[in-house]
């Protein structure tokens, strides 16, 4: 075996040879394995660690590695049917029954089967993540004085200051709490602002993860339609008046899933309407750092123009870095900040300090602006490749808006399309997309799908994925009128 052999290859060889040793028998020393397989000591160490994690090998400091003894038989499976009664009775007295349904979230988190092109991903492909910069930042962070100690409950002051500067000059570090990513921040915000059973106004369509948070907390999501310019102020005002809601959750910049940006003339209207209703606006500013290369100047966050403490601002580093760099921020003014702080401390204590230190190291390094510039260019190229491919292969899928930020496109399917049937056909053809139904808190006005162009490896993979999607449309729609619409109608791009 050559020096370049992988850890997996060595682990496989050792796994095949374990039968030579009796349970508890000692394996050759690390030095002997290095010499025999001609690999580095690090490779040997990692291969043994892999077998240890699988329960096949036991290591003893100073003594070596040994074949693990057989595990005891698993105990008899008990009867858990009683839990059906206990769990159903749990919310019997709730005004709005709590429903814990993660299906709308897991469709964006779960990796598709091998060979399936990932148009359903919720995060940029590893090739778009700053892996070397993050590794270097984590290494430096681990050596910082006090890096493994307890951080301030609100978060590291320097990191809070960095997030505050990104929101606007009207926000200070004292207004910011560090959170474990955007999802955690949204959970904290909804728990702080609305009691169980209360209505909460949401954009329609909107992010399924936020709907899941609301329903798990026993809240009642009430849809407010959006158009190409964001939420419609007249309908927002009507919804506040009709429901008595005290919270509105929105994504003013590159909204998920439509990609719309709240128009300049609507921004002060949204704040005014919420203030008059005595309500909070939760601003989920989730993809500000995923702007495309051809975008013009971005509007400021709503929080930057809010003098009265109406806005609770949520932002995160995760989308622009890695799913595992779960570092975000909550920003608010007034008494609500103390409530947010109290709930976050009760739920999570604090965000691990090494992760906060690593985030500081990353955003303060020369690699950070280089990464953002490269990401901006790559996202534009992939968006353009997907829109061009749709024109070519699926011209009948309506794409009313091409965003200049974010990582996906939102398409309307022809009337009469069976969303579930198309989704199944796409998986058989080797491509996964995100169905549109989970994005609506009530009955959807039409059938939609969301296609991610950032979770794939290249523009070539985008072209292949669209070819497979065309195959799926041909299979699922057959000779129907919807099929002819997909093939022949101009795309409206």
Write the pLDDT tens digit of every residue in 115-168: 899 999 889 999 999 999 999 999 999 888 888 888 999 999 999 999 999 999
Q: Are strands 199-204 and 220-227 parallel, antiparallel or unpaired?
A: parallel
- Residues 350 and 398 reside in one and the same domain: no
pLDDT (mean) for 395-412: 92
Q: What are the CA-CA distances from residue 473 to residues 45, 116, 423 (Å)?
A: 49, 16, 9
The CATH number assigned to the domain holding 410 equals 3.90.1150.10
Q: What angle do CA 105, 107, 112 make, to 5 degrees?
A: 145
Report the distance separating Cα 156 and Cα 131, nearest Å. Answer: 23
pTM of the model: 0.81
SS3 176: strand
pLDDT (mean) for 239-264: 95
Residue 489 has pLDDT above 70, yes or no: no
SS3 67: strand
- Residues 192 and 266 reside in one and the same domain: yes
pLDDT of residue 477: 80
* Nearest by Cα to 255 from 397, 122, 403, 390: 403
- Residues 390 and 346 reside in one and the same domain: no
Residue 491 has pLDDT above 60, yes or no: no
Report the distance separating Cα 175 and Cα 309, nearest Å. Answer: 10
Residue 309 lies in a domain: yes
Residue 289 has pLDDT above 50, yes or no: yes
Lowest average pLDDT, out of 98-102, 186-190, 255-259, 298-302, goes to: 98-102
Q: How many Å from the N-terminal Cα to the C-terminal Cα in the chain? A: 55
The CATH number assigned to the domain holding 200 equals 3.40.640.10
- Residues 117 and 61 reside in one and the same domain: no
Taking a C-beta distance cutoff of 8 angstroms, is the pair 270, 239 a contact?
Answer: no
Residue 322 lies in a domain: yes
- Residue 467: CB atoms within 10 Å: 17
58: CB partners within 8 A, 6+ apart:
52, 65, 66, 67, 68
Q: Is 401 exposed, middle or buried (0-12, 13-18, 19+ CB in 10 A)?
A: middle
Q: Are strands 230-231 and 220-227 parallel, antiparallel or unpaired?
A: antiparallel
pLDDT of residue 98: 65
Report the distance separating Cα 93 and Cα 111, nearest Å. Answer: 38
User: Which tens digit of pLDDT belongs to each residue from 410-436?
Assistant: 999 988 888 989 999 999 999 999 999
Report the distance separating Cα 105 and Cα 116, nearest Å. Answer: 19
pLDDT (mean) for 229-250: 95
14: CB partners within 8 A, 6+ apart:
27, 33, 47, 48, 51, 57
Residue 88 lies in a domain: no
Maximum alpha-carbon separation in the chain: 77
pLDDT of residue 61: 82
- Residues 357 and 412 reside in one and the same domain: no
pLDDT of residue 7: 85
Residue 85 lies in a domain: no
pLDDT (mean) for 397-410: 93
pLDDT of residue 347: 87
Residue 348 has pLDDT above 70, yes or no: yes
**In which band, very low, low, confident or very high, does the pLDDT at 490 lie, cut at 50, 70 and 90?**
very low
Q: How many domains does the chain have?
A: 3
- DSSP-assigned beta bridge partners for residue 291: 405
- Residues 413 and 448 reside in one and the same domain: yes
pLDDT of residue 2: 40
pLDDT of residue 99: 67
pLDDT of residue 387: 96
Structure tokens that stand for 343 in this block:
């709930």
- Residues 236 and 262 reside in one and the same domain: yes
Q: Which domain holds residue 429?
A: 111-126+370-488
pLDDT (mean) for 443-454: 91
- Residues 255 and 288 reside in one and the same domain: yes
Boundary (domain end) residue, out of 342, 363, 384: 363
**DSSP per residue over 300-330, as a string?**
PPGGGG-SSS-EEEEEESGGGS-TT---EEE
- Residues 122 and 243 reside in one and the same domain: no
The CATH number assigned to the domain holding 46 equals 1.10.10.10
User: Which tens digit of pLDDT belongs to each residue from 99-109?
Assistant: 666 666 676 66
Taking a C-beta distance cutoff of 8 angstroms, is the pair 205, 448 a contact?
Answer: yes
pLDDT of residue 443: 84
Report the distance separating Cα 381 and Cα 454, nearest Å. Answer: 10
- Residues 329 and 190 reside in one and the same domain: yes
Helix axes 182-193, 208-216, angle to 10 degrees: 40
User: Which tens digit of pLDDT belongs to each residue from 153-167?
Assistant: 999 999 999 999 999
Q: What angle do CA 110, 113, 116 make, to 5 degrees?
A: 105
User: Which tens digit of pLDDT belongs to each residue from 177-219?
Assistant: 999 989 999 999 999 999 988 999 999 999 999 999 999 888 9
Percentage of residues in the chain having pLDDT higher than 70:
89
Boundary (domain end) residue, out of 310, 335, 363: 363
Residue 268 lies in a domain: yes
pLDDT (mean) for 80-97: 63
Q: What angle do CA 435, 419, 205 make, to 5 degrees?
A: 45
pLDDT (mean) for 34-45: 88
Residue 83 lies in a domain: no
Residue 68: CA atoms inside 13 Å, Cβ hemisphere, count? 15
Boundary (domain end) residue, out of 363, 396, 418: 363
Mean pLDDT of the residues in the chain:
88
- Residues 142 and 269 reside in one and the same domain: yes
Report the distance separating Cα 202 and Cα 248, nearest Å. Answer: 6
Residue 175 lies in a domain: yes
pLDDT of residue 493: 36
Residue 364 has pLDDT above 50, yes or no: yes
Residue 1 has pLDDT above 50, yes or no: no
Residue 432 lies in a domain: yes
**In which band, very low, low, confident or very high, does the pLDDT at 486 lie, cut at 50, 70 and 90?**
low
- Residues 212 and 308 reside in one and the same domain: yes
pLDDT of residue 423: 92
* Nearest by Cα to 186 from 354, 410, 343, 303: 343
């Amino acid at each position: 075996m050559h020096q370049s052999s992988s850890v997996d290859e060595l682990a496989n060889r050792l796994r095949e040879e374990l039968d030579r040793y009796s349970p508890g028998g000692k394996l050759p020393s690390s030095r002997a394995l290095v010499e025999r397989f001609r690999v580095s000591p690090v490779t040997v160490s990692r291969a043994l660690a892999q077998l240890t994690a699988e329960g096949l090998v036991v290591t003893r400091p100073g003594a070596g590695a040994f074949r693990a003894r057989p595990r005891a038989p698993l105990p008899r499976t008990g009867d858990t049917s009683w839990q059906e009664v206990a769990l159903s009775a749990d919310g019997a007295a709730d005004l709005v029954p709590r429903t814990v349904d993660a299906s709308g979230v897991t469709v964006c988190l779960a990796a598709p089967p091998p060979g399936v092109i990932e148009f359903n991903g919720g995060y940029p492909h590893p090739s778009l993540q700053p892996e070397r910069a993050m590794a270097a930042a984590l290494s430096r962070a681990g050596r910082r004085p006090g890096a493994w100690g307890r951080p301030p409950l609100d978060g590291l002051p320097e990191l809070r200051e960095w997030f505050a500067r990104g929101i606007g000059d009207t926000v200070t570090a004292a207004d910011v709490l560090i959170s474990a990513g955007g999802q955690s921040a949204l959970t904290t915000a909804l728990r702080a602002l609305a009691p169980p059973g209360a209505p909460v106004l949401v954009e329609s369509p909107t992010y399924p993860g936020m709907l899941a948070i609301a329903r798990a907390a026993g809240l009642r999501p009430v849809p407010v339609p959006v158009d190409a310019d964001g939420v419609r102020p007249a309908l927002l005002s009507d919804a506040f008046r009709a429901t008595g809601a005290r919270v509105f959750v929105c994504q003013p910049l590159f909204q998920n899933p439509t990609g719309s940006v709240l128009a300049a003339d609507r921004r002060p209207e949204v704040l005014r309407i919420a203030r008059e209703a005595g309500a909070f606006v939760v601003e989920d500013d989730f993809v500000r750092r995923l702007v495309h290369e051809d975008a013009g100047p971005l509007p400021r966050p709503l929080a930057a123009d809010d003098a009265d403490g109406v806005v609770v601002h949520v932002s995160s580093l995760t989308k622009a870095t890695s799913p595992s760099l779960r570092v975000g921020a909550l920003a608010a003014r007034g008494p609500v900040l103390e409530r947010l702080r109290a709930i976050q401390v009760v739920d999570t204590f604090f965000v691990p300090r090494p992760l906060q230190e690593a985030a500081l190291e990353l955003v303060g390094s020369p690699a950070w602006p280089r990464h953002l510039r490269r990401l901006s260019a790559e996202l534009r190229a992939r968006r353009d490749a997907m829109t061009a491919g749709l024109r070519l292969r699926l011209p009948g899928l309506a794409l009313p808006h091409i965003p200049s930020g974010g990582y996906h496109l939102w398409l309307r399917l022809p009337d009469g399309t069976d969303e579930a049937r198309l989704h199944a056909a796409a998986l058989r053809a080797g491509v996964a997309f995100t169905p549109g139904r989970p994005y609506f808190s009530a009955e959807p006005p039409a059938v939609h799908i969301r296609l991610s162009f950032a979770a794939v490896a290249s523009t070539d993979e985008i072209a292949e994925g669209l070819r497979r999607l065309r195959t799926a449309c041909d299979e699922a729609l057959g000779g129907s009128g919807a099929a002819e619409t997909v093939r022949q109608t101009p795309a409206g791009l």
